[in-house]
C-alpha cells in the first residue's frame, strides 16, 4: 500500500473512532484496493463501550461477506476497533462465491448500492442557509 493509501486508511479509522466517541454508536467503513496482486478490501468498524467486540465482529463479518461477494474481491480483511481507535479483533475472508442466489438476495435485503454507483454529494451551496435578495422595484413613469 502506498504512503498515501496508508494515510487514507488511518484517516478513515480515526474518523470512525471519532464518530463513535461523539454519538456512542457503531460505525463502519470499507476501503478497496485493486492492484497487480488482486482486489483486496478492508472492512473496519468501531463500536461503543456497551457493544461487545464479539457482537461488533459478527455484524462486520456479515456485511463483509455480502459486500465482498458483490464486489467480487478475492480477499477481505476485517478490523474491529474500540471508540479510541485501538485494534481489538480481526478476521480474514479469502474466498469469494460466484453466482450465489442466497448472497444475491442478501444484497437486495441489505439495500447495498450497486458497484460503481454513488449517491452524489450535496453541494456546499445546498447545505448552507441562503439569504433571499429582494428585487428592486422599478419606478414607473
Ranges of each domain in the chain: 3-72+90-114
All three cell numbers of 126, joined, read 445546498
Beta bridge partners of 68: none
- The answer to whether the predicted template modeling score (pTM) of the entire model surpasses 0.85 is no
The residues near 16 (Cβ < 8 Å, ≥ 6 apart) are: 27, 28, 29, 44, 45, 46, 81
pLDDT of residue 34: 82
- Chunk the chain into consecutive blocks of 10 residues (it has 141) and report each block's average pLDDT, rounded to whole numbers: 85 95 95 84 95 96 91 92 96 82 76 64 60 62 61
Count of alpha carbons within 13 angstroms of residue 103, beta-carbon side: 16
43 exposure class (CB count in 10 Å sphere: 0-12, 13-18, 19+): buried
Amino acid at each position: 500500500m502506498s504512503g498515501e493509501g496508508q494515510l487514507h486508511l488511518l484517516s478513515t479509522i480515526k474518523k470512525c473512532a471519532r464518530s463513535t466517541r461523539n454519538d456512542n454508536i457503531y460505525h463502519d467503513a470499507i476501503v478497496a484496493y485493486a492492484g497487480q496482486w488482486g482486489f483486496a478490501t478492508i472492512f473496519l468498524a468501531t463500536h461503543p463501550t456497551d457493544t461487545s467486540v464479539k457482537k461488533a465482529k459478527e455484524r462486520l463479518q456479515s456485511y463483509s461477506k455480502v459486500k465482498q461477494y458483490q464486489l467480487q474481491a478475492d480477499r477481505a480483511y476485517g478490523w474491529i476497533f474500540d471508540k479510541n481507535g485501538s485494534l481489538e479483533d480481526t478476521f480474514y475472508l479469502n474466498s469469494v462465491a460466484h453466482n450465489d442466489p442466497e448472497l444475491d438476495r442478501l444484497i437486495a435485503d441489505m439495500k447495498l448500492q450497486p458497484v460503481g454507483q454513488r449517491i452524489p454529494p450535496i453541494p456546499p451551496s445546498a447545505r448552507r442557509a441562503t439569504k433571499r435578495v429582494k428585487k428592486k422595484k422599478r419606478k414607473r413613469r
